[in-house]
Structure 1
Amino acid sequence: MATMLDVSIRAGVSKATVSRVLNGTGQVKE
């Protein structure tokens, strides 16, 4: 199973951005 760190590295974004997407909070550009 991938961790938030794995996802953030693969996507080229911060762990905070991954967290916001998963939790549906804050604004994230597509």
Structure 2
Amino acid sequence: MPPTIREVAHEAGVSIATVSHALSGKRPVSAETQSRIRKTARR
């Protein structure tokens, strides 16, 4: 089962909104943060 946005946010140390923005691409998120979120989401 894939991780929830809440789980990804907790593990990456960011807010739920930041995870949503990074995954949807609708709002700018720093490259470093986006990379950390995507790596966490792939686990």
The TM tier, using the shorter chain, reads 0.7 to 0.9
**Unaligned segments of structure 2, at least 5 residues:** 33-43
Between Structure 1 and Structure 2, the one with more helix by share is 2
* Deviation beyond 2 Å, 4+ runs, structure 1: none
**Unaligned segments of structure 1, at least 5 residues:** none
Q: TM-score, normalised to structure 2's length?
A: 0.63
Within 1, Cα distance between the matches of 2:10 and 2:25? 20
Within 2, Cα distance between the matches of 1:5 and 1:27? 19
Structure of higher RCO (CA pairs closer than 8 Å, 6+ residues apart)? 2
Report the RMSD for the aligned CA atoms in angstroms: 0.7
